[in-house]
Amino acid sequence: MTQAYTPGLKLAGRIRHRVCRRLPIPGEVLVQVGQQVSAQQVVARTWMPGEVTLLNVAHRLGVAPAEVPGLMQVQVGQQVQAGQLLAQTKGLFGLFRSPLLAPISGTVENISGVTGQVILRGPPQPIELLAYLAGRVTEVLPGEGVWIEAHVALVQGIFGVGGEAYGPIRLACQKPDQPLEPECLDQSMRGAVVVGGGRVSAKALHQARQLGISAIVTGGIDDQDLREFLGYDLGVAITGSESLGLTLILTEGFGEIGMQERCWRLLSSHEGRLAAVNGATQIRAGVIRPEVVIPLDDFDPKTQPSFPKIDPAEASTPSEWPSGGTALPVGAGASGPTLQVGSLVRIIRAPYFGQVGRVIDLPPMPQVLPSGVKTRVAEVQLSDGSRVIVPRANLEWIEEN
Amino acid sequence: MTELAPEQITVILATDCGSTTTKAILIEKQAGHYRQTFRGEAPTTVEAPLADVTMGVRNAVRELEDLSGRRLLDPEGRLIRPAQAGQGCDIYVSTSSAGGGLQMMVAGVIREMTASSAQRAALGAGAIVMDVIATNDRRRPHEQIQRIRELRPDMILLSGGTDGGTVEHVVQLAEWIAPARPQPRFGSQYKLPIIYAGNRDAAPLVSQTLGNQFALAVVPNLRPTLEEENLGPAREKIHDLFLEHVMAHAPGYDKLLQWVDAPIMPTPAAVGNILQQIAQQEGINVLGVDIGGATTDVFSVFDGQFHRTVSANLGMSYSISNVCAEAGLEAILRWIPLEMDIRELRNRIKNKMIRPTTIPQTLDDLVFEQAVAREALRLAYQQHRQFAVSLRGVQQQRTVGDLFAQKASGQTIIDPMRLDLLVGSGGVLSHAPRMEQTAAMLIDAFQPEGVTRLAKDSIFMMPHLGVLAQVHAQAALEVFERDCLIYLGTCVAPRGQGKPGSLCFRYELDGPGGAQTGQVLAGQWRWLPLGLGQTARLRIEPARGWDAGAGSGRSVQTLVHGGTVGLVLDGRGRPLMLPANPNQARTLMQQWVAEARLYATE
């Protein structure tokens, strides 16, 4: 294909950022438009319908399903307590009646004369939605959630595990390619978003969890170490719901690889600032990449041009980009930045995996690679001055602000 | 919609909007025949920030314009119609699997009977089946309700009971779905569609139970009796709802729906459509596979019965890590003739998973990907064989002879010995640098027995032709025969096992190159040239214990067709057993790779 697909990751020193925070089911929004919120402030709340318990009353009482509605001692919609009489048989001349007691407290949701089943729903569970982005509420979706905006520094990772986490940025490594080992971590990092450098080891992750560190952001990890930390082999890259007690975000990938210099400089420059991170990753349809969001200052929407309206129903990702994006088709000028001679790129596959360089030529005709694959390529000058030929599909464009 | 008569149609544009790539092909009438002439592709644009599928379509069409010199879009980006000299097209059709395709949940009373029929209906309609709920699926009711609650399907197919049969169990399923209140995948603005295709007597009660929380559509029972499946009405309804609900909510599809001259079909449904037509026309048994980045689809038409399975997490990029987890790295390594660093390999797999669009630059990277492909295909085929079974629950009349044959209902109908044509498609098969590599991957994964023709859908054109067949069957079939399939050749493989080096079979081959005889030993394969369009008479005399289709040790005579690879005489045994010892397996692979010149440089 003439238009190679090079998904670049967002790395911004200062952008206007907005996130849509929505409840999974309708509920109550607790904040107002214009209100300044902190990252861990509850902005909306709802009650998740309780667990369902099915009771086969016909079977339990040894009666036909059609008889069940006539034997019920409670009605649909009625609250019942655990141990309360739900139904009982007519017995013999009113004697020897078999009772059926409620196994849980809850509400009677349905009584079926066809199947003889009764559905009890347990008490609703509260769900509280945090702001995640410290900023200003710019829109309220009544009963659903809010849009929050702020000026932030933003780093998108390539892969993560674990959900949302918060804390001040702390540096654990002196250089972007320094491996992150247990000795880089200490008690003072409790509750922090710790920025490493190169490959993090499983030992360091366990240590971080023990120390109560909120999140680790680093360049890479060995697959073997990730397996050890997770306790299983990750089959499909859909993550974020793990309960690990620690969120991990990789900026580069798997293997011995250091964090990209620009990324490391950006994160280092914000040491001490509060950050919100999310390890959730989904590589398939509706791509979600993990992120580190560092709110920079107070945001006043009155002084800012407004965003184009986005239908929240279509906003499948937790945040929406105000401009640009991650899909960078080569040559498709109208739809975003393009790969050109002079572009700064990162090579994302062997044999030059992880190396950064500049495109010095984009030959129009496809070339045959050592693998035998015929494809369109780019000539890239690496940071050590050497020149290499790389398939365009194996290049990731690095945005230069 | 075009108002032209079929014979007036001279230029056809077709696109397939895949989850990562939108592929466009141009079909033109040349000297009285329809031929596929040009092809273009571009990244699919359903994701933010572009979020409009038609942008990807336009980009792919623009590439077609560049290559063909034919102008297809006007300055405003609209399709020029009808075709005139040097510009425009008469028909435009499209399939789609973008945005994760059509995702469904199905439910039936008995897992092996009505639930299985419902699953077949959904898969045949091109859906990904997220889960199958049945009253006997060993999960407790609250676990099933919890599961329904977690899923966010595009629609639900509810079946159960033969007509006049159980009402209670069907209503029970509805009673599980109603309180679970599953939410539709695209927003919460519309009601989740449920298709009811069960016992007709239960329909009013099901409707009452589900209430007005869902958009319920009632269609005729898909299993009216145990002996009969009637999947057509349910499949049609799935397609209707796919267009009304799923497509209408996907970004940009409202525009695309106005462009097309035939309803947009889910990609796999279109592939199934064209394969069924070919099997019927030629009177053959066909097996087709499409291995993608996330999923692998297997299609079969055996004795006129069509089956499709989707192995949701077996693929070459997004799901590559899952292939390794399911098959085990050891199983993959046995297909590799080189020594590799395990730690490095594991990291490589994960890097491919998180950056799915990259391609192998080095030879060892390619060898490794093709080894993973063998295992992904093998696992997907295994799942297909388990699913493509005769109807379970059918009362059978048995004779004394049947007692010895030990045949029961619910057995797989896929018989590798009776397979006539094996078609492979999808990036790793279609874009393999050498045709020999494609043939070897197909043979190793599917292990065809007896005499089987091998082909590849060079540029994955089957979806385009499947959807085109709806409006112009003649054009679709002509292009399929002339341009779609690239015949690789024929594989001849007797069933059986033998000591390595012992005789497997002798052969006599009489073809364009003259007559020749030879033998193939157990544990060997031989690759003989037989060109595209050429045929040869082949006589096989298997050794005792080997069956080439006529029974153990009995000779077989047949006409074999050539192709870009030729004739593969495979004496490696069926099932194909590889040594457990990694060093021995590697040595054996090196011999096989050398004989087939799989990675030879020209």
To the nearest whole percent, how much of chain B has pLDDT over 70?
94
The pLDDT of residue A315 = 36
Minimum mean pLDDT range among A123-137, B210-224, B308-322, B398-412: B398-412
Of residues B553, B429, B404, B541, the one with CA closest to residue B486: B429
- Examine the pLDDT at B453 and tell me if it is beyond 50: yes
What mean pLDDT do residues A21-37 have? 90
Q: Mean of the per-residue pLDDT values for chain B?
A: 88
Of B48, B209, B347, the CB nearest to A255: B347
Q: How confident is the model at residue B250 (pLDDT cuts 50, 70, 90)?
A: confident
Of A54, A285, A393, the CB nearest to B19: A285
Amino acid at B319: S
Q: Where are the beta strands (DSSP E) in B197-321?
A: 214-218, 265-266, 286-291, 296-302, 305-311
- Examine the pLDDT at B562 and tell me if it is beyond 50: yes
Write out the CATH class of domain A339-397.
mainly beta
For an interface test with A, the pick among B52, B350, B363, B593 (most A C-beta atoms closer than 10 Å) comes out as: B350
Q: Give the C-alpha separation, A254 to A252, whole Å.
A: 7
Q: What CA dihedral angle connects A351, A356, A357 and A361, to 10 degrees?
A: 50
The pLDDT of residue A322 = 26
B322 part of contact set with chain A, CB < 8 Å? yes
Give contacts of A 41-70 with B, CB under 8 A.
Answer: 49, 51-54, 65
Instruction: Using the Cα atoms of residue A261, residue A266, residue A272 and residue A275 in order, give the sign of their dihedral.
Output: negative
B142 part of contact set with chain A, CB < 8 Å? yes
- Examine the pLDDT at A310 and tell me if it is beyond 50: no
Helices B342-354, B363-387: axis angle to 10 degrees equals: 70
Question: Is B205's CB within 8 Å of A254's CB?
Answer: no
- Cα–Cα distance list, B443 to B381, B383, B424 (Å): 12, 17, 11
The pLDDT of residue A326 = 27
**Contact indicator for B348, B372 with CB cutoff of 8 Å:** no
Q: Give the C-alpha separation, A192 to A208, whole Å.
A: 10
Question: Is B100's CB within 8 Å of A286's CB?
Answer: yes
The pLDDT of residue A93 = 73
Termini Cα distance of chain A: 29
Question: Is A235's CB within 8 Å of B142's CB?
Answer: no
Shortest Cα distance, chain A CAs vs residue B90, angstroms: 25
To the nearest whole percent, how much of chain A has pLDDT over 90?
58
A273 part of contact set with chain B, CB < 8 Å? no
**A317 to chain B: nearest residue by CA?**
B48
What mean pLDDT do residues B560-580 have? 95
The pLDDT of residue A333 = 34
Q: What is the pLDDT of residues A103-148, one digit of tens each?
A: 999 999 889 888 888 988 888 888 899 999 999 999 999 988 999 9
Amino acid at A317: T
Query: For tokens 């457990």, what's the residue?
Result: B580
Burial (0-12, 13-18, 19+ Cβ within 10 Å), B15: buried
Q: How confident is the model at residue A313 (pLDDT cuts 50, 70, 90)?
A: very low
- Cα–Cα distance list, A29 to A127, A134, A185, A362 (Å): 12, 16, 39, 52
ipTM of the complex, rounded to two decimals? 0.82
Q: Give the C-alpha separation, B223 to A122, whole Å.
A: 36
A35 part of contact set with chain B, CB < 8 Å? no
Eight-class DSSP state of B366: H
Q: Answer yes or no: same fold for A52-121 and A158-289.
A: no
A396 part of contact set with chain B, CB < 8 Å? yes
Select A158-289's CATH number: 1.10.3470, 2.60.40, 3.50.30, 1.10.1060. Answer: 3.50.30
B191 part of contact set with chain A, CB < 8 Å? no
A236 part of contact set with chain B, CB < 8 Å? yes
Shortest Cα distance, chain B CAs vs residue A295, angstroms: 22
Complete DSSP assignment for B387-437 = HSBPPTT------HHHHHHT--TT-B---GGG--EEEEESHHHHT-SSHHH
What mean pLDDT do residues B240-264 have? 83
Query: Which residues lie across from B508 on neighbouring strands?
Result: B517, B539
**Contact indicator for B293, A284 with CB cutoff of 8 Å:** no
State the architecture of A52-121 in CATH terms. Beta Barrel (2.40)
- Examine the pLDDT at A318 and tell me if it is beyond 60: no
- Examine the pLDDT at A321 and tell me if it is beyond 60: no
Domains and CATH numbers, chain B: 6-98 (3.30.420.40), 101-259 (3.40.50.2300), 286-312+363-596 (no CATH)
B208 part of contact set with chain A, CB < 8 Å? no
Tallying the residues shown for chain B, one arrives at 602
- Examine the pLDDT at A309 and tell me if it is beyond 70: no
The pLDDT of residue B502 = 97
Give contacts of B 430-469 with A, CB under 8 A.
Answer: 431, 433-434
B355 part of contact set with chain A, CB < 8 Å? yes
Q: Nearest 5 degrees, angle CA B81-CA B82-CA B84?
A: 110
Which residues from B are below 8 Å from A348, CB to CB?
A: 351, 355, 358
- Examine the pLDDT at A301 and tell me if it is beyond 80: no
Alpha-carbon B233 to chain mean position: 22
Shortest Cα distance, chain B CAs vs residue A335, angstroms: 7
Q: How confident is the model at residue A320 (pLDDT cuts 50, 70, 90)?
A: very low
- Examine the pLDDT at B437 and tell me if it is beyond 90: yes
Whole-model pTM?
0.83
A238 part of contact set with chain B, CB < 8 Å? no
Instruction: Using the Cα atoms of residue B129, residue B133, residue B136 and residue B140 in order, give the sign of their dihedral.
Output: positive
Helix locations, A18-124, DSSP H: 57-61, 68-71
- Examine the pLDDT at B349 and tell me if it is beyond 70: yes
Q: How many CB atoms lie within 10 A of CB A102?
A: 20
What mean pLDDT do residues B546-569 have? 96
The pLDDT of residue B601 = 61
B145 part of contact set with chain A, CB < 8 Å? yes
Q: What is the pLDDT of residues B46-57, one digit of tens each?
A: 766 677 889 989
Of B100, B146, B321, the CB nearest to A234: B321
Q: Give the C-alpha separation, B212 to A119, whole Å.
A: 18
Q: How confident is the model at residue A33 (pLDDT cuts 50, 70, 90)?
A: very high
Q: What CA dihedral angle connects B59, B63, B68 and B73, to 10 degrees?
A: 20
Question: Is A313's CB within 8 Å of B188's CB?
Answer: yes
- Examine the pLDDT at A319 and tell me if it is beyond 50: no
Question: Is A350's CB within 8 Å of B349's CB?
Answer: no
Question: Is B49's CB within 8 Å of A327's CB?
Answer: yes
What Rg, from alpha-carbon coordinates, does chain A have? 28
Which residues are within 8 A (CB) of A69 and not within 5 positions of it... i.e. 6 or more apart? Answer: A111, A113
Shortest Cα distance, chain B CAs vs residue A183, angstroms: 24
B59 part of contact set with chain A, CB < 8 Å? yes
Q: What is the pLDDT of residues B70-81, one digit of tens each?
A: 999 999 889 999
Q: What is the pLDDT of residues A343-357, one digit of tens each?
A: 988 898 989 988 889
Domain boundaries, chain A: 52-121, 158-289, 339-397
- Cα–Cα distance list, B239 to A384, B110, B236, B275, B408 (Å): 56, 25, 5, 18, 34
**A377 to chain B: nearest residue by CA?**
B361
Of A283, A325, A368, the CB nearest to B354: A283
**Contact indicator for B26, B37 with CB cutoff of 8 Å:** yes
Minimum mean pLDDT range among B61-65, B75-79, B149-153, B552-556: B149-153
Q: How confident is the model at residue B410 (pLDDT cuts 50, 70, 90)?
A: low
Structure tokens at B26: 């141009």
Which residues from A are below 8 Å from B179, CB to CB?
A: 49, 52, 109-110, 119, 121
Q: What CA dihedral angle connects B364, B370, B376 and B379, to 10 degrees?
A: -110
What mean pLDDT do residues B311-319 have? 85
Q: Mean of the per-residue pLDDT values for chain A?
A: 85
Question: Is B43's CB within 8 Å of A313's CB?
Answer: no
Of A114, A335, A394, the CB nearest to B171: A114
- Examine the pLDDT at A304 and tell me if it is beyond 60: no
Q: What is the pLDDT of residues B481-514, one digit of tens each?
A: 889 999 999 999 999 999 999 999 999 999 998 9
Which residues from A are below 8 Å from B347, CB to CB?
A: 222-223, 253-255
Strand order in A42-48's β-sheet? A28-29, A42-48, A125-130
- Examine the pLDDT at B354 and tell me if it is beyond 50: yes
Helix locations, B292-341, DSSP H: 320-327, 329-333
* DSSP-based three-state secondary structure for B159: coil
Q: How confident is the model at residue A6 (pLDDT cuts 50, 70, 90)?
A: very low
Q: What is the pLDDT of residues B99-133, one digit of tens each?
A: 667 888 999 998 888 999 999 899 888 888 888 99
Eight-class DSSP state of A259: P
Q: Give the C-alpha separation, A52 to B286, whole Å.
A: 46
Minimum mean pLDDT range among A55-59, A265-269, B247-251: B247-251
Structure tokens at B130: 């997220």
Shortest Cα distance, chain B CAs vs residue A259, angstroms: 15
To the nearest whole percent, how much of chain A has pLDDT over 70?
86
Contacts of B541-544 with C-beta under 8 Å, sequence gap 24+, read B541/B505, B541/B506, B541/B507, B542/B494, B542/B496, B542/B504, B542/B505, B543/B498, B543/B502, B543/B503, B543/B504, B543/B505
Amino acid at B144: Q
Q: What is the pLDDT of residues A211-240, one digit of tens each?
A: 999 999 999 999 999 999 999 888 888 888
Shortest Cα distance, chain A CAs vs residue B183, angstroms: 9
Which residues from A are below 8 Å from B209, CB to CB?
A: 112, 114
Query: For tokens 């385009």, what's the residue?
Result: B464
